[in-house]
Chain A
C-alpha cells in the first residue's frame, strides 16, 4: 500500500536530516568558537594540559576526521565529557530528560485538546464575545515571549495567589518516587502513591501552562479560521441541502477537514514547546534537560550543547514524523496519493 511507502520515505528522509543536523552541530561546536581546548579548560590552562586535551579528543586531526570520531561516539551514545559537570554528557541527558518530557507532554496535551476545543467553540460562535476573547488571547500568545509569560505566571502563582506551587518538581518533605521512568507523575502512579502524584502533577501544571499557552491560542485561531473558511464549501452546503442537521455537519464534516492544517502546525508548535522549555525551566527551577542545556550554553560547555541539541533534534524529527502520519491518517488525499 501507498501508506507504508509514504512512512518509509519519511523515515529515510529523517535519517538524512538527522545526519545533516549532526554536521551543523559539529560545525557550530568545532569551527565557530576558535580553540575548543582553550574553551574547555579555561584561560589558565597550561600548554601541556591543552596539548594533552587536544590529543585525547582528536583535536589535532583534520576536521572531517574529527567529525568521524565525534559521530562515531554519538552513534554509540557517547557525547563526550561535560566540562560543566565533569560527567559523561549522555548520563546527564538520561538524568535530566525525563523531567523535561514530563512537562512537555502535559503541555502538548493541553495544546492539542485546548486548541481544538477553543477553536471549534470560536468558529461556532463566530464574532461573539468568546470569539473576540480567543482572538485577543491568540494575539497575546503570539506577542508574548515565553519568558515573559513565565515570569507573569510566577508572579501570579508565586506571590499574588499562591494556590499552585511554582518552584521545583516536588514540595518539601515529599520524597521522590522510586525511579522507573524518571517522570515523577508516572512513577508515583506506577508505585500507587497518589499523594506524591498529585503533588508532582501540581508542580508540573504552571510550567506546562507557561509552555503551551501561546501556542494553544494560536492553534485555536488556526482551527477557527480553517473552520470558518471551510464553512463556505459546497460539500457542507450539499450536506445541509440534504437535511443533515447542523450539529453533525459542524462536528464531523466540518471539523475533520479543518483539523488537517492545524495538526500539521501543531507538530511545529509541540516541537517549539521544547525550545521554549529552555527559558521556562530556568525560570521555574525545573531540573530538566533544557536547564542543563541552557547552563551548558552559558558555560560554553560544547559537549553538553551538542549533546542536548542532538537529542532535541532527534525528538523534533520524531514528532514531525508522528504528525505527518497523523495528518496522512486524517487526510486520504495524502494517504492514497494524488487520486487519478
Chain B
C-alpha cells in the first residue's frame, strides 16, 4: 500500500489497552494495559499461556468481539496512525476488507459448516478491496489461486467441498488461503495449527511464513510455544494475565531473558538434549474478577517481594528495543 515506507515505520501500535468482559457480578479485567508495536514487514510474536488475553488483544484490533459483552475503559489502538477504537463501523470495515487479515485459532469453528468453501471464499473476495468490481470469473480465479497458494492440490474440487469434508490440516490451510486471498498489510495469525499434529503444524507454519515473506506483510503471530515464536518471528512479546511483561527482538529474548515469567516459560519447555522437563511455573493465571493489586504475576513469582504485591510494574526500556515489566531486573 505505502511504497515509500521505511523499514522502521510503525504500522500498528497498541497503547495501554484495557478490556473488561461483563460477567456475573462484575467485570472480568482481561486486558490490563497491553502495549504492543508492530513495524512494517516485521513478524511479531505474542507468547503466553492459555487465557492470558492474546486472542482478545488481536480481536479488539478488528473490533470483532461481540458488542454487548465487553468494555474498553482505556487505551488506544493506532493502525497507520489512526485510532481504530474511535472509527465508525464503515471506516473499520475498510480496514477489515483491505488492510488487516486474520487467521483464526480453531479452523473448524472459523468456517461456516453449512456453506461450501467456495461460497465462503467468493464472498470474502467480493468485498475485499481488490476483489471489488471484478466479475465472478475473475473472482473465482483469485479464490482458486489462493487455494493453490496454500499447497492444496486440485482447488477446483475443494471449491465445492463443505468444511466437514476436509481434514483439520486442510481446514487450517483454507483459513490461511482466505486470509491471504488479497493483498493485506498486516496478517494476524491466532495459533495457526495448534489443533493439528506436529508435522502438519510445521507445514502450516512454513506455508504461512513463505506467504508473508513473499508478500511483504507484517505479521502478528500468536502462539503459546516459545519454540514456534523463535522459529518464525523477528520480535517477541510475552504476555501474562492481560499484560505484556517482556518485549524484545527474538534473539535477545533468548539470550538475555529478563522477566521471571519468561524464564519460567523457557524452563517449562522440555529439551530434547537431556534435562527433561524443568521446573516450570507453579499455579495458574489469576481470576480476572479479583486480579492481584500489584504485579499480576506476583502470586506465582519466585522473586516476588512486598513491593510487587502492592505496585504494578510498568513496561520500561531496559536496553536496545528490550522492554520488561518487573521491579527485579
Contact = CB atoms under 8 A, between A and B. Distances in A.
A340 B167 contact: yes
Interface residues of A, number: 30
Interface in A287-337: 330-333, 336
A253 interface: yes
Interface stretch (A134-142, A156-164, A226-234): A226-234
Nearest to A235: B112
Interface of B: 59, 62, 64-66, 89, 93-98, 100-102, 104-106, 109-116, 120, 123-124, 126-129, 162, 164-167, 175, 178-179
B164 A333 contact: yes
A339 B124 contact: no
A244 B66 contact: no
A-B residue pairs, 7 tightest by C-beta: A243-B97, A339-B164, A243-B96, A234-B109, A332-B162, A237-B64, A235-B112
A260 B162 contact: no
A243 B102 contact: no
Given A331-B114, A336-B162, A336-B165, 4 more contacts: A236-B112, A243-B95, A332-B164, A333-B162
Given A235-B110, A244-B124, A244-B127, A336 B96 contact: no
A339 B104 contact: no
Contact of B124 (A233, A242, A246): A242
A320 to B, nearest CB: 21
Contacts of A125: none
Given A248-B123, A257-B112, A332-B114, A237 B97 contact: no
A180 interface: no
A338 B163 CA distance: 11
Nearest to A338: B164
Interface string A228-264: 0001111111111111111010001100110010000
15 contacts: A232-B66, A234-B106, A237-B59, A237-B64, A238-B175, A240-B96, A241-B102, A243-B98, A243-B128, A244-B127, A248-B123, A331-B113, A332-B116, A340-B164, A340-B167
A235 B110 CA distance: 4
B84 to A, nearest CB: 13
A331 B165 CA distance: 13
Nearest to A339: B164
A332 B113 CA distance: 8
A253 B115 contact: yes
A331 B109 CA distance: 15
A243 B115 contact: no
A235 B123 contact: no
Contacts of B116: 332
Contact of B104 (A237, A246, A248, A332): A237
Interface of A: 231-246, 248, 252-253, 256-257, 260, 330-333, 336, 338-340
Nearest to A236: B112
**Among A246, A331, A340, which residue has the most Cβ atoms of chain B within 10 A?**
A340
A244 B126 CA distance: 8
A245 B93 contact: yes
Given A241-B96, A242-B178, A339-B164, A257 B113 contact: yes
Given A253-B112, A256-B115, A332-B113, A244 B106 contact: no
Contacts of A235: 109-113
A257 B98 contact: no
Contacts of B162: 332-333, 336
A23 B127 CA distance: 59
A271 B100 CA distance: 49
**Among B106, B116, B123, which residue has the most Cβ atoms of chain A within 10 A?**
B123
Contacts of B104: 234, 237-238, 241
Nearest to B190: A234
Contacts of B129: 243
A338 B175 CA distance: 21
Given A233-B109, A237-B64, A242 B167 contact: no
Contacts of B109: 233-235
B96 A234 contact: no
B51 to A, nearest CB: 17
Nearest to B129: A243
A245 B93 CA distance: 8
B111 A242 contact: no
Contacts of A236: 112
Contacts of B111: 235, 238
A332 B117 CA distance: 12
Nearest to A248: B123
B97 A260 contact: no
A243 B96 CA distance: 5
B128 to A, nearest CB: 6
A75 B81 CA distance: 79
A241 B114 contact: no
Contacts of B179: 242
Contacts of B127: 242-245, 248
A253 B126 CA distance: 15
B54 to A, nearest CB: 15
